[in-house]
Amino acid sequence: MLFSVNRLSSVPIRSRRSCAPSRCASQEPAIEPQGQAQRNVAHHYDLGNDFYKLFLDDNMLYSCAYFREEGETLEQAQRNKLRLLAAKLNLKPGMKVLDIGCGWGDLALYLAQLEDVSVVGVTLSKEQHALATKRAEEAGLAGRVRFELKDYRDVAETFDRIVSVGMFEHVGVQHYDEFFKKLNALMPDDGVAVIHSIGHMSPPGMTSPWLRKYIFPGGYSPALSEVVSVTEQNSLWVTDIEVLRLHYAMTLTHWCNRFEANRDKVVAMYDERFARMWEFYLISCEMMFRAGSQMVFHLQLSRKRDAAPIVRDYVTDRQRAYIEREKELGITV
């Protein structure tokens, strides 16, 4: 999760001069080589699985939930999010799916439970990889779900579908071209990719220096203009786009409440300074999503304009079908 400074200022932080996102030197610094990328991930995501269990939902999803109805629990809203992403992937039997930045594996496991597909999840977090692998084995899905401790740039297989949730924020503006070129190389002409990322509705700016130093080194949440311009350069159709405006603020409310309920345990794990730092991080992020310009966007991408149905009803229809499928399989939240 990332918030940025001066997002609702009438003047963007960087110069008003026109420049291509890949060339604009005043933007966020380019991401470091792959070894540094792994160190950046470890700084945040390898704080320990026990720590994240203190405030995330039971299935440990560390990204924006999707609240369909008032009063839903965090667990229900996170399941809604998985269902929405699965619907947008428009899966078919026998497909191969790549999950870039797979976290603790819940999305990959959910897809394999509902559909006859195989899933490969990649992460740079050792803690996430270990727990995700264990969960696949315990669920009896190790034959169709595989997790690898690997940079997405090192993936060599091809996939029918690609999904990435909460990872794009760590790519770095100057590596967007590399990212979308890799997506192009990883899927066939009729392949579909769905990207779930934090962004903002204001012009390009910069990550809060405090957040970049203490919480998310190398992180940046983009303006949509910074993303779509690069998909155009890589001949990718944006076949669907959706903006989740208040859902992350609602998610963060749940995280903040759970964090405060377990604050004494956080202090025991780390110290008072760490607990105060994370309180500030979570509360500040909630305010940026509630009153600032931060939001979450979904981009569905393909090389072919008709790779996904041309009428959007299928997204709703598939979500309803998945609800019934979950009941049949006894998949509980």
Q: In this prediction, what percent of the chain has a pLDDT beyond 70?
A: 86
How confident is the model at residue 25, as a pLDDT? Answer: 35
Q: In this prediction, what percent of the chain has a pLDDT beyond 90?
A: 79
Rounded to the nearest integer, the mean pLDDT of the chain is: 89
User: The domain 34-328 belongs to what CATH superfamily?
Assistant: Vaccinia Virus protein VP39 (3.40.50.150)
Q: Is it the case that residue 42 has pLDDT exceeding 80? A: no
Give pLDDT tens digits for 69-89: 999 999 999 999 999 999 999
Mean pLDDT of 14-22: 36
Q: Is it the case that residue 307 has pLDDT exceeding 70? A: yes
Give pLDDT tens digits for 225-284: 999 999 999 999 999 999 999 999 999 999 999 999 999 999 999 999 999 999 999 999
- Does residue 19 carry a catalytic annotation? no
Q: Is it the case that residue 217 has pLDDT exceeding 60? A: yes
Contact 37, 218 (CB under 8 A): yes
Position 40 confidence tier, pLDDT thresholds 50, 70, 90: low
How confident is the model at residue 215, as a pLDDT? Answer: 84
Tell me the domain boundaries of the chain. Answer: 34-328
How confident is the model at residue 34, as a pLDDT? Answer: 62
How confident is the model at residue 219, as a pLDDT? Answer: 83
pTM comes to 0.88
Mean pLDDT of 7-36: 41
Interatomic CA distance for residues 259 and 297, integer angstroms: 26
Interatomic CA distance for residues 98 and 87, integer angstroms: 15
Among the residue ranges 13-17, 175-179, 181-185, 287-291, the one predicted with the least confidence is: 13-17
Give me the long-range contacts of 70-74 (CB less than 8 A, separation at least 24): 73/333, 74/251, 74/254, 74/255, 74/258
Strands 118-123 and 294-302: unpaired
- Greater confidence (37 vs 172) lies with 172
Q: Out of 64, 102, 256, 285, pick the active-site residue.
A: 285
Burial tier of 119 (Cβ tally within 10 Å: 0-12, 13-18, 19+): buried
- Greater confidence (154 vs 333) lies with 154
Mean pLDDT of 168-179: 94
How confident is the model at residue 35, as a pLDDT? Answer: 59
Interatomic CA distance for residues 97 and 79, integer angstroms: 19
Interatomic CA distance for residues 128 and 100, integer angstroms: 13
How confident is the model at residue 37, as a pLDDT? Answer: 58
Alpha-carbon torsion (244, 249, 254, 256), positive or negative: positive
Give pLDDT tens digits for 186-210: 999 999 999 999 999 999 988 888 8
